[in-house]
Amino acid sequence: MWPLANYHSFKISRSASELYEVRTIDDARKVSDFDNFLILGDGTNTIFIDDYDGAIVKSCISGVDCQAQDEGWYIRVGAQENWHRFVTWTLNENIRGLENLVLIPGSVGAAPVQNIGAYGVEVSQYIKTVEAVHLATGQQHTLTNHQCDFSYRDSIFKRQPGAWLITHVNFFIPKSWQPNLSYPALAELNTETSVTAQSIADKVIAIRSSKLPDPARLPNAGSFFKNPLVSVEHYQQLIGSFPDLIAFKQNTGYKLAAGWLIEHLGLKGACCGDCCVHDKQALVLVNQGHATGGDVLALCRLIQQRVEHAFGVMLEPEVRMVGHGGLIHDVSHYPG
């Protein structure tokens, strides 16, 4: 058995049958030989609830290649590269566009899976193609942005876990740049005479550092729940009862701030065993030292039940929870 506490940022002491590292395309083609496997990046969005009866597959393909053209930069990045370090590199190279996504934990290869986003920007806005091996056939593909079928915190890679192993992500970042200050927390930068990508990144880092615990000091997996999407009618009902409700207009409805829903119910600091709602950011669950998978499931279910009862909304976990057989798709029916 392979110990997993150091392979996911929530630090629950669980194990997997073995660890398999992918360093070449041929290595990737051999992944399908395993009866059961789970592709894992930096483990910052994954919690191992139980021992996993399968192989952990990690991409160890690295490298950054940047080609400057008249209209923008084409950047090919290996899946293993750290996301925050990559964003920092672009800023140092005066490549502007990814600054709102600074300090998001995880690897570059995991970014398109979750379609990571923050402060008004989603990574899919800058992804041109994704290179991946289709594990069932062993064929290498270059999927266009359209073929990745990106949506809010979702993609073809997330909806088909185990089908694809991402080796590289190809970005196009145009030279024409406008600061994205649409997120309320960045609004004060509008008063500055000259807003730069670096000043936005510095502001995002300050906000994230003040609200989100450092996984190296307090184990966590980042935002635990997705911000739920509701219809215009549902939103209008809620705002009548909860005038302070935080929500963001979308094309077909509203995105509710899940953290606000949890905090409004007085659940900040609530615990099940050693798994607790963070006292500064209600959207984050933390491991106070000896949390078990059962603690995580219990707190997740408690929050879901309370929010559904109060607001008529079922919160969906954003983190990947892994049980004996693989990803847990229905928390309510998983034993524990």
Say which amino acid occupies 203.
K
Place of tokens 């084409």: 74
Question: Residue ranges of the alpha helices (H) in 242-292?
Answer: 258-264
Task: Report the candidate in 147, 157, 100, 91 with the shortest Cα–Cα distance to residue 123.
Answer: 100
C-alpha–C-alpha distance, residues 74 and 108, integer Å: 15
C-alpha–C-alpha distance, residues 162 and 167, integer Å: 14
Q: Going by C-beta distance under 8 Å and a sequence separation of 6 or more, which residues neighbour residue 120?
A: 100, 180, 181, 182, 183, 186
Task: Report the candidate in 106, 250, 237 with the shortest Cα–Cα distance to residue 169.
Answer: 106
Rounded to the nearest angstrom, the gap between the alpha carbon of residue 272 and the centroid of all alpha carbons in its chain is: 24
Task: Report the candidate in 116, 95, 97, 101 with the shortest Cα–Cα distance to residue 41.
Answer: 116
186 pairs with which residues across the strands? none
C-alpha–C-alpha distance, residues 58 and 31, integer Å: 10
Active site residues: 153, 223, 318
